[in-house]
Amino acid sequence: MHKIPVTVITGFLGAGKTTLVRHLLQNNENRRIAVLVNEFGEVGIDGELLKDCQICEDDNNPNENIIELNNGCLCCTVQEEFYPTMQQLLERRDSLDCMLIETSGLALPKPLVQAFRWPDIRNSATVDGVVTVVDCQALAFGTLVGDLDALEAQRKADPNLEHETPIEELFEDQLACADLVLLTKTDLVNATELNKIKAWLSQELRPGVKVVSCHQGQINPDILLGFNAAVEDNLETRPSHHDHEAEHDHDDDINSVQITLEQAYDPKTLVKTLTKLVQENEIYRIKGFVYVPNKPMRLVLQGVGDRFDSFYDRLWRENETKQTRLVFIGKALNQQTIEQLMNSSR
């Protein structure tokens, strides 16, 4: 039987990986796609966003094709989580055309790709290509990532993370392994800045690796799929700073808080409340779903630092409980304090 082509999508927290995968699923051109998403937090917000794509609504078994690996940084849990999950997926490879792996913002691509050299996987799947998603606005500001505090919080909260590396080296590793770089948030910089960033990236990449602008994840699937790179066979040409990392201690004060509330919220009022929470607490990331009064659709809300974005993703289902569900990621967060402020903001 043929090998299943696997596309690895990497990039920092908030760069737009989930938005990209969601658009790809909605425009799959009849491809049968399985997705592994390296989720962070107790509620699978990213996984549910993907499961609610049009492709999944038409699928009889969406939960079988969108799989969340939420026990920490994927490149550090390859043997414990990724390997058995891949074995299960490959048992039904005749019903799949390809796979996508969306890594966490901390994952190093190379250790993950190396797993495709293991005999049980090598005979059935191949890494078709590695796509690195890069935040253009962050590069313009000289920060590499849109919210460094959020990325550091994610790093410290992951008990399985075995590499604690400078952000610059992590970024270099993601670029070094790429077959394609997608540049997001290009509409937030001017033409001069965009050209400078593209020129700089081209110097950092291997010969032949292209940089493509991408707005809101909207890109032709044919650009993302079909590299035929067999990445696992030429890792030597993709150098990494972190092939041999020692284990480090982690900050136990970093945590995630999940809240589920039955009441509806006006989006503008809610953002004011969340902005106050961010100002008064060490909150690095907020993501979830909001029940908006007199609206038939569910609102998706995402916050990085003090910046908030939202969009309506789908209608509430007939038998679905309308709720507001949010995950807060930060330092020493108190569940009761957050719930009290949320309840007082109705």
pLDDT digits (tens, 9 = 90+) for 15-64: 888 889 888 888 888 888 888 887 654 445 555 655 555 444 444 444 56
Q: What angle do CA 127, 16, 63 make, to 5 degrees?
A: 65
Q: Quick one: which of 193, 192, 227, 194 has its CA closest to 211? A: 194
Domain with CATH 3.40.50.300 in the chain: 4-237
Q: Where are the beta strands (DSSP E) in the chain?
A: 4-11, 33-37, 66-68, 98-102, 125-135, 180-184, 210-213, 254-261, 282-290, 297-304, 307-315, 324-331
Q: In this model, does residue 291 exceed pLDDT 70?
A: yes
257 pLDDT band, cuts 50/70/90, is: confident
pLDDT at 286: 82
Token pair listed for 7: 């596309």
Q: What is the pLDDT of residues 110-139, one digit of tens each?
A: 888 888 888 778 889 999 999 999 998 888
CATH 3.30.1220.10 domain locations along the chain = 254-344
Average pLDDT of every residue of the chain: 79
pLDDT for res 144: 65
User: Among residues of the chain, what percentage have pLDDT more than 90?
Assistant: 20
| Predicted local confidence at residue 251, as pLDDT | 42
Q: Could you tell me the two tokens for 247? A: 């284990």
Nearest-angstrom CA–CA distance, 79 and 162: 13
Amino acid identity of 311? F
Q: What is the pTM for the complete model shown?
A: 0.64
254-344, CATH topology level? Hypothetical Protein Yjia; Chain: A;domain 2 (3.30.1220)
**Residue in 120, 88, 123 with CA at minimum distance from that of residue 2:** 123
Q: Is CATH 2.40.30.10 correct for 4-237?
A: no
How confident is residue 236, by pLDDT bands cut at 50, 70 and 90? confident
* Tens-digit pLDDT profile for residues 302-324: 886 677 888 888 899 888 889 99
Question: Would you state the pLDDT for residue 253?
Answer: 58
Q: Cβ neighbours of residue 33 under 8 Å, at least 6 residues apart?
A: 24, 25, 55, 65, 96, 97, 98, 99, 100
Q: How far apart are CA 101 and CA 230, in angstroms?
A: 15
How far is Cα 25 from Cα 21, in angstroms, rounded to an integer? 6
- Residue 193's CB is within 10 A of a number of other CB atoms, namely 16
